[in-house]
Amino acid sequence: MSTSVVSIRLPDDIKGRLDALSETTGRPTAFYVREAVLEHLDELEWAYAVAARAEAIRRGTEGTRALDDVARELGFDPDELRTESRDDI
């Protein structure tokens, strides 16, 4: 596997925590930084994609679909869903 180096600045307290964890476990600090990135990268990509799509919808460069159309496509009766929704209030 090919790897690349990334340099980041961390607040002293976070760096201290990483160093302490590294010392306690005998693993390099880079291992924990890599683990944290791998753990959260999917979530970050998803969140930024959602934000970009919302912005595109606001600008009018991306369309939307009516909720009733989506409900029908999924096999639901939109009127029935609205009735059930009101019953929950």
pLDDT digits (tens, 9 = 90+) for 44-66: 999 999 999 999 999 999 999 99
Asked whether residue 81 carries a pLDDT value surpassing 80, the answer given is yes
Give the whole-angstrom CA distance, residue 47 versus residue 29: 27
Rounded alpha-carbon distances, angstroms, from residue 61 to 53, 66, 76, 80:
9, 17, 29, 32
| pLDDT grade for 88, boundaries at 50, 70 and 90 | low
* 9's tokens: 């600045």
